[in-house]
């Protein structure tokens, strides 16, 4: 593990200028899915109101034009988007990682247009272009990946790969699991300007998935949908209804009372992103 952490830090490019891009998400009365440059940032399907701040550097491949896509769905139990739906997104920029909040610059504010209730829409989409200037360029990395939409029997192959990953978690095969999951994390290390301690914490959080947790149970892979992103260069499985990760791990103490009596107290939802380099036959995790 220490060797892996040292190598990751030493081979990651360092930058004096560390611009940060982020998105403040506030929503209620609807379900929202947000992507940056054809890659999911988050699925906010929580019942009721929800607020969070997301850093989006890891979704910016290179400087230039970027696209923020917002997909809005009716709240749970509703057929159409109604007047209870509310969204406010603030796209922001800060010139240097760690700068105070008062130095943040608001680039865009996105809200739902008025009158959607009368249109009886089961879905509404907003596309927002913006510019970013970053000190990295991963274009060549993505150019060297196969368009997985063109691979024969791709769904069968992806499900098989997910079963292998699930079995690593079941067997607590931490070595195989970590080696698979961290191989292509250089972009995350660089775009978040991670220190050595941050890289250590990040890799250890991944390793936790394949450790012998209390009352650990890994559930079968079912009720999934196949999702292509990055123009087909990346694929994953996710829960068809909730859009959570499809490899579900339950663990922790057993609840002894209340609505969750008999259930474990903690859970993880995992959906590794898979890629295939040109000239290769084995999937890798992104």
Which pLDDT tens digit goes with each residue over 178-227?
999 999 999 999 999 999 999 999 999 999 999 999 999 999 999 999 99
User: Does pLDDT of 260 surpass 80?
Assistant: no
pLDDT of residue 255: 85
Kindly report which listed range (155-169, 215-229, 249-263) carries the lowest average pLDDT score.
249-263
Mean pLDDT of the chain, nearest integer: 95
- Residue 46's pLDDT band (boundaries 50, 70, 90)? confident
Four-residue CA torsion sign, 143, 157, 175, 200: positive
User: Does pLDDT of 259 surpass 90?
Assistant: no
Please give the model's pTM, rounded to 2 decimal places: 0.92
- Find the mean pLDDT for residues 101-127: 93
**What are the CA-CA distances from residue 46 to residues 38, 51, 70, 73, 74 (Å)?**
22, 10, 16, 12, 12
């Amino acid at each position: 593990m220490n060797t892996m952490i040292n190598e990751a830090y030493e081979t990651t490019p360092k930058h004096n200028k560390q611009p940060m891009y982020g998105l403040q998400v506030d929503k209620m009365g609807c379900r929202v899915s947000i992507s940056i440059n054809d890659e999911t940032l988050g699925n906010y399907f929580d019942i009721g109101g929800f607020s969070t701040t997301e850093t989006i550097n890891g979704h910016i491949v290179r400087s230039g034009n970027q696209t923020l896509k917002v997909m809005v769905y009716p709240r749970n139990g509703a057929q159409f988007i109604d007047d209870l739906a509310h969204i406010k997104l603030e796209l922001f920029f800060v010139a240097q990682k760690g700068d105070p909040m008062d130095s943040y610059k608001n680039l865009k504010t996105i809200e739902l247009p008025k009158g959607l209730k009368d249109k009886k829409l089961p879905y509404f989409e907003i596309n927002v272009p913006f510019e970013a200037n970053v000190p990295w360029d991963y274009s060549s990395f993505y150019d060297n990946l196969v368009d997985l939409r063109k691979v024969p029997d791709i769904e069968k192959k992806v499900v098989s790969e997910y079963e292998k990953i699930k079995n690593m978690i079941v067997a607590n095969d931490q070595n195989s699991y970590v080696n698979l999951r961290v191989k292509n994390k250089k972009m995350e290390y660089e775009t978040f300007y991670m220190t050595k301690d941050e890289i250590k914490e990040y890799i250890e959080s991944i390793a936790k998935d394949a450790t012998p947790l209390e009352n650990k149970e890994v559930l079968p892979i079912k009720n999934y949908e196949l999702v292509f992103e990055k123009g087909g260069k990346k694929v994953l499985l996710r829960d068809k209804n909730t859009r959570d990760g499809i490899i579900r791990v339950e663990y922790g103490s057993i609840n002894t009372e209340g609505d969750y009596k008999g259930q474990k107290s903690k859970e993880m939802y995992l959906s590794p992103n898979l890629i295939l380099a040109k000239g290769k036959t084995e999937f890798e995790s992104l």
